[in-house]
Chain A
């Protein structure tokens, strides 16, 4: 057990050390204050987390942040429904299925909207405009909502 644990710890430390430069490389273009802060605190986990968070806040487009907020909301709503199913039982099961699958389906649709409209992936979706992606998203979501409301009876 012990050597295995050590090996795992080693792998962890390796991955963190390798990930730190990876996060640092794009950050190197940034204003020096943040980059120095992250570089100096590269061994402190709390500072790493703050660094990632600041990085996210500063570099993410506003619409992607909106999508992420919505997806987090869906995860919370879906998680609550699942928790209720575990605690209170799955009767009526179709209600659980439609309630839970509404959040899961919405999450999947939102994730694909995030992929298609993220400017980081612009190279992959040259022929697809953001407006088209959004229209697809709205259409798909409405079908999903119709299905769920119908299925719950």
Chain B
């Protein structure tokens, strides 16, 4: 539904979706025209991937994120402004509306300038916390770049994290990624919509260079609490990505020569270019977008009658859902990461069944994987849902609900008593009783009471 609305909008704008699953119009907020050239490789990469980039300054009075009440762009890249704030056209409220409209935001921060309060409060809305003094950066005395920050230790060199079990791995690159003068974020642990993309090393901490004191007392966050890159996916699956270091996207750091201190003095080039590509692919919905293709349910023995409205209790039911995944420029069959499974709930208020679905290549659609299972409807009549809810980090959410009625047995659908061997003694009990009764009636009618016996009792 959301996709179709957005597609309609994009049709009006005359923009054809090239790579991203949602659209190719990208608005870049950059304050000074001169800074544009610093990111030339990144722009070239984006344009090469089919994005139509519009550059605007936050001071531009004509700047508007919306056209006729709908987001005017599919994606927004916010580079850190030189001035104190983002201006009246990019208030936190408007940015949240922009996400609610289904568009994606990639927000780049930098510790070079103080983070605007507007951005601070926007991030607080999403349960992402920044250091309160707004000029702090992340330092790591064990994982810095010797060539560029031998003194300050503020250029972090971070390798890709080990992929977690059951979580898709979109961001891992070979080698080290440099994050110069990064703003560390701390994610609230209550929100299931937040996930961390890059974490600082165990020896990192947040430090304010403007503070006069020697050494750091009571730092805002330390170690892997600090997120250098973090992601937020809204309920409508719009993506909001926070990149702690905007410099990481600059040409200087694409394939820069760096040296990591340590016993082996590992030297080499940074993988920033590849990481920037991966990050923008994800942030602008080129990867990790899931779509439900076809949902079928039927009786197990009668697969011709597809998606009937009504089932009976204790029916054997077959359910199948086809899911495909957008991968840069095409739909491919979706396979959940190892250790994860798509699950089906058969629920009335609460689930009566929660089953992991078995995946197999779809027979009808080469771009989709069919997830299917068979199960027996519970001994409970009512209105039930076939409910598939798949919400995982870095994947857009899938929610599919098919409502059916489950009726009880009709009175002629119960098995006959003689089909149940346990009932045989009672069946014979009835017939023995009836037979005995017939014999009794026969003897009663046959034997007329003898008058001789009667007087003895009749006298009483």
Give A residues with C-beta under 8 Å from B.
26, 59-63, 66-67, 70, 73-74, 77-78, 80-81, 84, 88-89, 91-92, 94-96, 98-100, 102-103, 106, 110, 119-120, 122, 134, 138, 141, 145, 148-149, 152-153
**Nearest 4 CB-CB pairs, A to B?**
A99-B426, A95-B423, A99-B429, A95-B426
B417:A62 contact, CB within 8 angstroms: no
B430:A98 contact, CB within 8 angstroms: yes
Contact with A along B422-460 (1 / 0, CB 8 A): 110111011011101100110110010110011011101
A62:B449 contact, CB within 8 angstroms: yes
Distance in Å: Cβ of A115 to nearest Cβ of chain B: 15
A62:B447 contact, CB within 8 angstroms: yes
Q: Which of A84, A91, A141 contacts B437 (CB 8 A)?
A: A141
B457:A119 contact, CB within 8 angstroms: yes
Q: How many residue pairs at the A-B interface have CB separations less than 8 Å?
A: 97
Chain A residues whose CB sits within 8 angstroms of the CB of B460 once the complex forms: 26, 120
Q: With A61-B449, A91-B422, A119-B457 as known contacts, state yes or no: A66 contacts B430, CB within 8 Å.
A: no
Distance in Å: Cβ of B456 to nearest Cβ of chain A: 6
Q: With A95-B426, A122-B458 as known contacts, state yes or no: A74 contacts B449, CB within 8 Å.
A: no
CA distance A148 to B432 in the complex (A): 12
Q: Is B416 an interface residue (CB 8 A)?
A: yes
A99:B457 contact, CB within 8 angstroms: no
A66:B440 contact, CB within 8 angstroms: yes
Q: Is B420 an interface residue (CB 8 A)?
A: yes
Range class of the B interface residue count: 20 to 34
Q: With A119-B454, A134-B444 as known contacts, state yes or no: A102 contacts B422, CB within 8 Å.
A: no
CA distance A145 to B434 in the complex (A): 7
Q: Which of A70, A81, A102 contacts B440 (CB 8 A)?
A: A70
CA distance A98 to B431 in the complex (A): 11
Distance in Å: Cβ of A92 to nearest Cβ of chain B: 5
Closest to B439 in A: A70
Chain A residues whose CB sits within 8 angstroms of the CB of B429 once the complex forms: 77-78, 80-81, 99-100, 102-103
CA distance A88 to B444 in the complex (A): 36
Q: Which of A60, A103, A153 contacts B414 (CB 8 A)?
A: A153
Chain B residues whose CB sits within 8 angstroms of the CB of A94 once the complex forms: 417
B426:A66 contact, CB within 8 angstroms: no
Chain A residues whose CB sits within 8 angstroms of the CB of B420 once the complex forms: 91-92, 95
* Of listed A66, A74, A92, residue having the most chain B CB within 10 A: A92
Q: With A77-B429, A99-B430 as known contacts, state yes or no: A70 contacts B436, CB within 8 Å.
A: yes
CA distance A89 to B425 in the complex (A): 12
Closest to B457 in A: A119
A74:B430 contact, CB within 8 angstroms: no
A66:B417 contact, CB within 8 angstroms: no
CA distance A83 to B457 in the complex (A): 38
Distance in Å: Cβ of B373 to nearest Cβ of chain A: 29
B426:A98 contact, CB within 8 angstroms: yes
B433:A61 contact, CB within 8 angstroms: no
Q: Among residues 240 to 278 in chain B, which have CB atoms less than 8 Å away from a CB atom of chain A?
A: none
Closest to B445 in A: A134
Closest to B423 in A: A95
Q: Which of B417, B432, B447, B450 contacts A95 (CB 8 A)?
A: B417
B447:A96 contact, CB within 8 angstroms: no
Given contacts A62-B447, A81-B429, A91-B420, 10 further A-B contacts (CB under 8 A): A26-B460, A62-B449, A66-B440, A80-B429, A81-B426, A92-B420, A95-B427, A99-B427, A103-B433, A138-B441
21 A-B residue contacts at CB 8 Å?
Answer: A59-B456, A62-B449, A63-B447, A66-B444, A67-B440, A77-B429, A84-B426, A88-B422, A91-B420, A91-B422, A95-B420, A95-B422, A99-B425, A141-B437, A145-B434, A145-B437, A148-B433, A149-B430, A152-B423, A152-B426, A153-B416
B454:A153 contact, CB within 8 angstroms: no
* Of listed B420, B434, B447, residue having the most chain A CB within 10 A: B434
CA distance A102 to B440 in the complex (A): 15
Chain A residues whose CB sits within 8 angstroms of the CB of B440 once the complex forms: 66-67, 70, 110
CA distance A67 to B440 in the complex (A): 8
Q: Which of A74, A100, A152 contacts B427 (CB 8 A)?
A: A152
A96:B426 contact, CB within 8 angstroms: yes
Chain B residues whose CB sits within 8 angstroms of the CB of A89 once the complex forms: 422
Distance in Å: Cβ of A68 to nearest Cβ of chain B: 11
Q: Which of A61, A91, A99 contacts B454 (CB 8 A)?
A: A61
CA distance A89 to B436 in the complex (A): 26
Chain B residues whose CB sits within 8 angstroms of the CB of A110 once the complex forms: 440
Distance in Å: Cβ of B62 to nearest Cβ of chain A: 79
B453:A61 contact, CB within 8 angstroms: yes
A152:B449 contact, CB within 8 angstroms: no
Contact with A along B5-44 (1 / 0, CB 8 A): 0000000000000000000000000000000000000000
B447:A152 contact, CB within 8 angstroms: no
Closest to A58 in B: B456
Contact with A along B196-209 (1 / 0, CB 8 A): 00000000000000
B430:A63 contact, CB within 8 angstroms: no
CA distance A91 to B447 in the complex (A): 41
